[in-house]
């Protein structure tokens, strides 16, 4: 058996949570492989909306096991809050034995968040616009070989290890200014650590490979999107993990040849939250309309998302990096009513027309070259059959399939799990 992978092809918030939830009945396990509570994955069903930050989006499927993989960074306070909220709504994945956590996953400490905030405020105008969840500093400690891991919570000297790392952080923080008081947060952290210890810990590499050996199906759930990948995204305006398919191998402990289908998700247009380049951004009424109709406000931070037209050079790049075998287009309903929609096919850069992301994307502003595509007027949020899809929307999908050279398998026409069409 192979591990299928589902990931975002743009700058995050493509609708990964919703689609993982839709696909989860087909899988024995859903496994998050990178990122942390910077993610906000929204799911809707039975008139209820849930936002998950750390927990895989298979949690609402009765039969599915959910693994938080070693590549994820975990804030125990946020994880506890997520599970408390689920419990209030009648879901208790720990009691149901449907949630396990990798021993090798790294912990986000309260001081990681302080470091994130200090670094961002120091950068002023040029800041990344991070989610301030401590993601960057935690991955820095991981690669710097200083980090604390989930498995360390079982060790008798966990507190001493914690203190050693906090002392290092305090010394760095003192260079930024006065170290803020974090005693309250620290108390919540240790309370949450006790809670964390009640979640079964596993070696994700053995756990996942055993599933495969037994012929079980696994879907790896990505967070963020390809353009936020630390190596290939719009660096330095990226997150601190590999959001691409390769990240699923290191973030779960699976060999590259064990990867099966790669499902790439994109919005029918494009959004980004935080700083950094966004060639097709619309700083005008159309951009505002997309934000208003698409409710484009961050699921984690509530920040307004920047909106623009679909960017084909960026999507082709993401498809190449990830080895995408099938596509999902979400939020097609948001474009209903636009007379004309536009797809960026190329950029103009340095007097030349190019069809790839230039290296210096952050310093130059490539000018998008657009193709105009007729829009559709119909409200599509209630359609249940492929035959009901307006012709202009079908043409848009076919146009994208031709340009991207990958079939669009699913079309999402609203936030609810039921608002999903299988195309082919
Ligand atoms: P994720 O981070 O990729 O899981 O995406 P988010 O949850 O951050 O953002 C996607 C938003 O769009 C959420 O509010 C979803 O409920 C919503 N959504 C997902 N698919 C659709 C769709 O097809 N149409 C509309 N209108 N909303 C959608
Ligand atoms: P999901 O999984 C959209 C962005 C932040 C910032 C940059 C770095 O919901 O798609 P970080 O806190 O990771 O150091 O921030 O990355 N970012 C996201 N944008 N969706 C996300 O996750 C994101 N996670 C991080 O806004 O620009
Ligand atoms: Mg999100």
DSSP states of 356-406: S--TTTTTS-PEEEEEEEE---S--TT--SGGGS-HHHHHHHHHHHHHHTS
Which of 235, 273, 306, 330 maximizes ligand 2 atoms within 8 Å of its Cβ, making it the mutation to test the pocket? 273
Catalytic residues: 13, 41
Cα of 161 to ligand 1 centre, how many Å?
Answer: 40
Cα of 387 to ligand 2 centre, how many Å?
Answer: 36
Three-class SS state of 23: helix
- Tell me the CA end-to-end span of the chain in Å, nearest whole number: 23
Ligand 2 atom at minimal distance to the Cα of residue 132: 12
Kindly report, residue by residue over 154-179, the tens digit of the pLDDT: 999 999 999 999 999 999 999 999 99
Q: Is the CB of 221 under 6 A from ligand 1?
A: no
**Residue 356 to residue 349: CA distance in whole angstroms:** 10
For residue 9, with 0-12 CB atoms within 10 Å meaning exposed, 13-18 middle and 19 or more buried, which class applies? buried
- Strands ordered across the beta sheet of 408-412: 201-202, 99-102, 65-68, 29-32, 218-221, 3-8, 259-267, 326-330, 408-412, 420-422
Report the pLDDT value the prediction gives residue 125, as an integer from 0 to 100: 83
Cα of 224 to ligand 2 centre, how many Å?
Answer: 6
Q: Is the CB of 37 under 6 A from ligand 1?
A: no
Report the pLDDT value the prediction gives residue 251, as an integer from 0 to 100: 98
Contact assessment for residue 372 and residue 406, using Cβ atoms and an 8 Å cutoff: no
Ligand 2 atom at minimal distance to the Cα of residue 14: 10
Contact assessment for residue 259 and residue 323, using Cβ atoms and an 8 Å cutoff: yes
Kindly report, residue by residue over 260-291, the tens digit of the pLDDT: 999 999 999 999 999 999 999 999 999 999 99
Cα of 306 to ligand 1 centre, how many Å?
Answer: 15
Cα of 97 to ligand 3 centre, how many Å?
Answer: 26
| Cα–Cα nearest to 268, from 6, 14, 42, 44 | 14
Across the chain, what does the average pLDDT equal? 96
Neighbours of 105 (CB within 10 A): 25
Residues 6+ apart with CB under 8 A from 170: 111, 179
Give nearest CA residue, ligand 1 atom 25: 414
Nearest ligand, CA 21? 1
Provide the token pair at 400: 């994208």
Strands 340-349 and 352-354: antiparallel
| Cα–Cα nearest to 281, from 366, 398, 204, 221 | 366
Kindly report, residue by residue over 323-375, the tens digit of the pLDDT: 999 999 999 999 999 999 999 999 998 889 998 888 888 888 889 999 999 99
For residue 96, with 0-12 CB atoms within 10 Å meaning exposed, 13-18 middle and 19 or more buried, which class applies? exposed
Q: What is the DSSP string of 160-188?
A: HHHHHHHHHHHHHHHHHSSPPP-HHHHHH
Give nearest CA residue, ligand 1 atom 28: 415
Q: In the chain, what are the helix, strand and coil shares in percent, each to the nearest 5?
A: 35, 25, 40
Report the pLDDT value the prediction gives residue 361, as an integer from 0 to 100: 85
Report the pLDDT value the prediction gives residue 276, as an integer from 0 to 100: 95
Which of 7, 115, 228 maximizes ligand 2 atoms within 8 Å of its Cβ, making it the mutation to test the pocket? 228
Kindly report, residue by residue over 228-272, the tens digit of the pLDDT: 999 999 999 999 999 999 999 999 999 999 999 999 999 999 999
∠ CA 290-292-297, rounded to 5° = 95
Q: Is the CB of 413 under 6 A from ligand 1?
A: yes
């Amino acid at each position: 058996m192979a591990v299928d992978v589902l990931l975002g092809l743009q700058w995050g918030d493509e609708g990964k949570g919703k689609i993982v939830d839709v696909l989860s009945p087909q899988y024995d396990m859903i496994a998050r492989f990178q990122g942390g509570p910077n993610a906000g994955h929204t799911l809707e069903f039975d008139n209820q909306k849930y936002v998950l930050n750390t927990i895989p989006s298979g949690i609402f499927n009765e039969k599915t096991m959910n693994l938080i993989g070693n590549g994820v960074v975990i804030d125990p306070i946020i994880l506890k809050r997520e599970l408390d909220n689920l419990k209030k709504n009648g879901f208790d994945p720990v009691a149901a034995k449907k949630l396990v956590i990798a021993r090798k996953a790294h912990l986000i400490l309260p001081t990681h968040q302080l470091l994130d905030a200090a670094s961002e405020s120091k950068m002023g105008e040029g800041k990344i616009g991070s989610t301030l969840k401590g993601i960057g500093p935690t991955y820095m400690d991981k690669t710097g070989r200083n980090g604390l891991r989930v498995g360390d919570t079982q060790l008798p000297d966990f507190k001493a290890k914690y203190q050693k790392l906090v002392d290092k952080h305090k010394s760095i923080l003192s260079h930024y200014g006065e170290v803020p008081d974090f005693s309250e947060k620290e108390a919540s952290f240790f309370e949450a650590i006790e809670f964390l210890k009640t979640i079964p810990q596993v070696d994700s590499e053995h756990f996942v490979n055993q599933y495969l050996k037994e012929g079980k199906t696994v879907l790896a759930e990505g967070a963020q999107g390809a353009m936020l990948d630390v190596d290939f995204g719009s660096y330095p305006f990226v997150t601190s993990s590999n959001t691409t398919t390769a990240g699923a191998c290191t973030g779960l402990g699976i060999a590259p040849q064990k990867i099966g289908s790669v499902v790439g998700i994109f919005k029918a247009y494009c959004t980004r939250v935080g700083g950094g380049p966004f060639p097709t951004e619309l700083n005008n009424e159309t951009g505002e309309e997309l934000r208003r109709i698409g409710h484009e406000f961050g699921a984690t931070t509530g920040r307004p998302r920047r909106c623009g037209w679909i960017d084909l050079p960026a999507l082709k790049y993401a498809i190449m990096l990830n080895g995408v075998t099938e596509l999902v287009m979400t939020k097609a309903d948001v474009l209903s009513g636009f007379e004309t929609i536009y797809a960026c096919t190329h950029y103009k850069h340095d007097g030349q027309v190019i069809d790839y992301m230039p290296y210096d994307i952050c310093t130059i502003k490539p000018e998008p070259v657009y193709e105009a595509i007729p829009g559709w007027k119909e409200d599509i949020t209630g359609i249940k059959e492929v035959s009901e899809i307006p012709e202009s929307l079908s043409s848009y999908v076919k146009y994208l399939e031709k340009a991207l050279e990958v079939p669009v398998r699913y079309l999402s026409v609203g936030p609810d799990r039921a608002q999903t069409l299988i195309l082919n």
